């Protein structure tokens, strides 16, 4: 396990202290508990651990937390979609729920409160099913490491929730603006259509009135022309009747009366 191995390391100094005597042992500085390297992610924090097998092969795993839960994340060929598998802490089994992740071979185990309490008290973590051989790692500094991991996870998750809430509020505001603009556009389109329909109706009525006036004017002109024709015919009829009445009232000419010459039948004198 990265940053672990403290239990193997303390044997050397204590052995030297026992050989050199109490004075030499008092001069040996106390061993510090190794600290975990915690990395913040989007909504969780994680720390990477290395578990060792008997062959010397290293299997990487990671612990992550959002401040409420702690999960063990790992990669295993043929990871089950859903399983209830045990991990051992100081040889005692603690089963937990395993769920397959999104990536190939990825899976997560949600650690129960009982498992976390055992890890804080325990010294060795063992997993028998993670690879071809059982793997293990020392739990040095796990108490402070889990506390730091959950603190970091809580802060990161709170910040992520705030950001997600802000993004949701922004999306809701943008959606409300979009809907308001859509409604306003629909209302403007309806008003524009009504105005265009009213204008078209007004133009149609104006054109119809113009056609009616033109027809009335044409009919009036035709009637005036007809009256003029009637008056002309009446005048001709009256003139003809007057002429006929005059001819009928005139005395007949005498038969022995010589015809009178035309007034200008003689040659007019034209001085030279």
**What pLDDT is recorded for position 264?**
56
pLDDT score for 238: 86
Q: Say what the pLDDT of residue 87 is.
A: 95
- Name all domains of the chain by residue range, CATH numbers in brackets: 37-159 (2.60.40.1880)
Say if residue 220 is exposed, middle or buried (CB neighbours under 10 Å; 0-12, 13-18, 19+).
exposed
Task: Print pLDDT tens along the chain (272 aa).
Answer: 444 433 333 333 333 333 333 443 344 344 445 568 999 999 999 999 999 999 999 999 999 999 999 999 999 988 889 999 999 999 999 999 999 988 888 999 999 999 999 999 999 999 999 988 999 999 988 999 999 999 999 999 999 999 999 999 999 999 999 999 999 999 999 999 999 999 999 999 999 999 999 999 999 999 999 989 898 888 888 888 888 888 888 776 655 556 666 655 555 556 65
As a whole number of angstroms, the distance between CA 33 and CA 4 comes to 9
Q: Taking the C-alpha atoms of 156, 161, 166 and 168 in order, what is their torsion angle to the nearest 10 degrees?
A: 140
Distance CA 236, CA 232 (A): 6
What predicted TM-score, i.e. pTM, was given to this entire model? 0.56
Say what the pLDDT of residue 250 is.
73
Q: What is the pLDDT of residue 209?
A: 93
**Long-range pairs for 93-101: beta carbons < 8 A, 24 or more residues apart:** 94/118, 96/72, 101/73
């Amino acid at each position: 396990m990265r940053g672990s191995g403290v239990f193997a390391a303390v044997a050397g100094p204590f052995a030297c202290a026992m050989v050199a005597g109490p004075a030499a042992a008092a001069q040996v500085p106390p061993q510090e508990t190794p600290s975990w390297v915690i990395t913040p992610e989007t909504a969780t924090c994680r720390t990477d651990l290395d578990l060792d097998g008997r062959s010397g092969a290293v299997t990487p795993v990671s612990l992550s937390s959002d401040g409420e839960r702690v999960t063990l994340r790992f990669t295993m060929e043929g990871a089950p979609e859903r399983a209830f598998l045990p991990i051992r802490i100081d040889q005692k089994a603690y089963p937990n729920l395993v769920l397959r992740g999104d990536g190939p071979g990825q899976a997560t185990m949600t650690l129960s409160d009982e498992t976390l309490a055992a890890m804080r008290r325990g010294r060795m973590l063992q997993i028998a099913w993670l690879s071809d051989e059982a793997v293990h790692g020392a739990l040095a500094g796990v108490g402070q490491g889990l506390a730091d991991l959950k603190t970091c996870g809580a802060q990161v998750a709170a910040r992520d929730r705030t950001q997600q809430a802000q993004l949701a509020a922004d999306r809701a505001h943008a959606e409300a603006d979009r809907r308001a603009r859509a409604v306003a556009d629909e209302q403007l389109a309806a008003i524009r259509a009504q105005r265009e329909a009213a204008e078209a109706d007004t133009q149609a009525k104006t054109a119809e009135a113009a056609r009616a006036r033109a027809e009335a004017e044409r009919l009036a002109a035709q009637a005036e022309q007809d009256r003029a024709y009637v008056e002309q015919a009446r005048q001709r009829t009256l003139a003809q009747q007057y002429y006929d009445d005059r001819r009928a009232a005139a005395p007949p000419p005498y038969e022995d009366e010589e015809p009178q010459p035309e007034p200008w039948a003689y040659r007019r004198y034209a001085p030279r």
